[in-house]
Amino acid sequence: MSKINIINKLCAVTFAGLLLSSSAIAADFNIKISHSSPATNDRLEKSLAIFKKNVEERTDGHISISTYPASQLGGEREQLEGVQFGSIEMAVLAGPIPNIYPDAMVFDLPYLFKNREVAYKVMDGEFGEKILNGMLEKTGIRALAWGENGFRNFVNNVRPIKTPADLSGLKIRTMENQAHIAMVDSFGATATPMAFSELYSSLQQGVIDGMENPISLIESMRFYEVQKYLTLDGHVYNPFTFIVNNNFFERLPVKYQTIIQEEAKNWSTVERELNTEQENSGIEELKKQGMQVVYLSDEVKGEFRETTKPVYDTYRKKLGDKLINELMDAVSKAEASQ
């Protein structure tokens, strides 16, 4: 090889290295996004990959995003605290927010939404925006958008759950969420709050009898390996909340703040679509993997709903009649517009 060719190759390598180092330097802001869903074959990480791509492209690489799925940065409670105190810039959470922001608990009331269309109208409407925007004032954390974890359903390894009485005596894992705990207790079951990262092993070892989760997670986390019976009761519509540390957010240039907000709303649409697709295919996959799936009639679902009425009474006292009445009014309007 001639000296000229060697020099040209060295120049090319040096130039490429300069480009790589300059692109690394170009990231003025680095964002960690944490969540507890699986790293692969799951709608949340897929949707966040699209959010990452769009934000990085629209900011010309001045914002760099890294995602940390599968509870890599701790359970949801630790992730929430991380965002609150600034060690984690952003997170997408499903469970612990009502512990620091009780108003968000209104969406955890059992059998609130008949279907996801009603849920979307309420969440994306005036009432949902009020709850989303109210988080900043009461917690110091900025909520950007609602996503969809999905309708939660009971799963267990003891017996098929066909009536409310079938839950009696079962030890059921819940998220660290007071409304979910109260709902499970209302059926005569024993609610056992537990971090999501501990759930599979606890089911495998028989520490608990069952749990309640959306179809997408039951499938992607392979819970069918350690659980036999699934009942499609859809007792709670569980949103994801996309949050950001507000001090970090306010340090961003205004144009980047706008991009983050716009892409968070876009993420909401994308993530919901991916979740719907995953749920639709997930039920068939669970059957294929040997789970027994119980479908409930509207009449029987009414019995489940009636059993959990005391939960509403409890949370009227905790949250106030005004907030609950506003919620139920929003639900009625959404159902009437279908």
The pLDDT assigned to 179 comes to 87
Arch. (CATH architecture) of 27-336: 3-Layer(aba) Sandwich (3.40)
Which pLDDT score, from 0 to 100, does residue 3 have?
A: 43
Portion of the chain with pLDDT greater than 70, in percent: 92
- What are the tens digits of pLDDT across the range 121-141? 999 999 999 999 999 999 999
Average pLDDT, the chain: 92
Residue predicted with more confidence, 5 or 59: 59
Asked if 216 contacts 210 with a C-beta cutoff of 8 angstroms, the reply is no
| Distance (Å, whole) CA 83 – CA 73 | 11
In the DSSP assignment, the letter for residue 222 is T
Q: What is the pLDDT of residue 177?
A: 84
Q: What is the pLDDT of residue 53?
A: 98
What is the token pair recorded at 182? 């109260």
CA distance 335 to 312: 19
Region 311-333: mean pLDDT is: 95
How high is the pLDDT of residue 92?
Answer: 98
For 27-70, where are the alpha helices, taking DSSP H only?
Answer: 43-58
Gap between the Cα atoms of 221 and 197, Å rounded: 10
Q: Tell me, what's the pLDDT at 68?
A: 98
176-189 mean pLDDT: 92
**10-14, 81-85, 224-228: which range is least confident on average?**
10-14
Taking residues 256-262, what's their average pLDDT? 98
Residue 63's DSSP bridge partners are 29
Residue 1 confidence (pLDDT) above 80 = no
| Alpha-carbon dihedral 48, 232, 126, 317, rounded to 10 degrees | -120
Nearest Cα to 284, choosing from 206, 219, 190?
A: 219
| pLDDT over 60 at 102, yes or no | yes
Domain residues of the chain, as ranges? Answer: 27-336
pLDDT, residue 23, reads 43
At residue 7, does pLDDT exceed 90? no
Residue with tokens 């350690």: 226
Alpha-carbon Rg of the chain, whole angstroms?
Answer: 23
Q: Distance between CA 117 and CA 128 in Å, rounded?
A: 14
Res 25: pLDDT:
52
Tokens of 318: 């905790």
Higher pLDDT among residues 22 and 279, named by residue: 279
Residue 68 or residue 1, greater confidence: 68
Mean pLDDT of 228-250: 97
Strand-pairing partners, residue 67, are: 33
